[in-house]
Amino acid sequence: MQTSPLLESLMESLRCLPGVGPKSAQRMAFQLLQRDRSGGMRLAQSLTRAMSEIGHCRDCRTFTEEEVCTICSNQRRQNSGQICVVESPADIHAIEQTGQFAGRYFVLMGHLSPLDGIGPNDIGLDRLEERLASEKVNEVILATNPTVEGDATANFIAEMCGMYGVMASRIAHGVPVGGELEMVDGTTLSHSLAGRQQIKF
């Protein structure tokens, strides 16, 4: 828009959002300017606060603005002795929706990927090991994605659990192989949680 450098810069900035090309950026900018300036201002404020204040939970690494998230600091969840390991914070959301899990989580923020140079410490396994060593953990439920990398990561963590005498289990297949955990419907996910199998070596 040669009539407005500010509009041009807004359209350019909107393209940092995944799935937003030039046409959608234009549509978004016009929509906000013509019909929803207060929505645009609210979005700006949410973005500023979220980008600067949201960090990672000290215990589970999920996104939170607290030092320890509300799930990790919940006494009843601590008492369950279960830790569910997932690849991303979105997976916590998907599992919470099933209502089938009352323990705590550990978020890898990815998976092992030696070819990309992503090793155990890059996905926080040093912190998970500390927890296995210091907390009373009865079971680690491995809910990484049912992909090659997710399976390999689950196996790696299962071995680690073995060293600390902690039972490791893998959620049942039933989630479509090759898919992404967060896209699975709640029923399938419930079944795969209920049908989890202990990993034995």
Residues near its own copies (CB under 8 A) are: 1-7, 9-10, 12-14, 16-19, 24, 26-34, 36-37, 39-54, 57, 62-65, 69-71, 88-90, 92-93, 96, 109
E strands, 59-193, in order = 63-64, 82-86, 104-107, 139-142, 167-170
SS3 content of the chain, % helix, strand, coil (to 5): 50, 15, 35
**Tokens matching residue 26:** 């234009």
Q: Which does 172 bind (CB under 5 to 8 A by kind): its own copies, Zn ion, none?
A: none
User: Which one of the spans 23-31, 55-63, 85-93, 125-133 is the region binding Zn ion (CB under 5 A)?
Assistant: 55-63
Say whether residue 143 binds Zn ion (CB under 5 A): no
Structure tokens at 79: 């008492």
CB of 55 to its own copies, least distance (A): 9
Is residue 60 a contact point for Zn ion (CB under 5 A)? yes
Judged by CB under 5 A, does residue 72 bind Zn ion? yes
Residue 87 touching Zn ion (CB under 5 A): no
- Decide whether 62 or 169 has the Cβ nearer to its own copies: 62
Asked whether the beta carbons of 102 and 119 are under 8 A apart, the reply is no
Whichever of 133 and 183 has its CB closer to its own copies, that residue is: 183
CB closer to Zn ion, 69 vs 171: 69
Cα 135 to chain centroid, rounded? 22
Nearer to its own copies, 52 or 134 (CB): 52
The yes or no reply on residue 57 touching Zn ion (CB under 5 A) is yes
Query: Are the CB atoms for 157 and 128 separated by under 8 Å?
Result: yes
Q: Which residues pair with 55 in a beta bridge?
A: 64
Output b/e per residue, 18-37; b: 16+ Cβ within 10 A. eeeeeeebeebbeebeeeee
Binding site for Zn ion (CB under 5 A): 57, 59-60, 69, 72
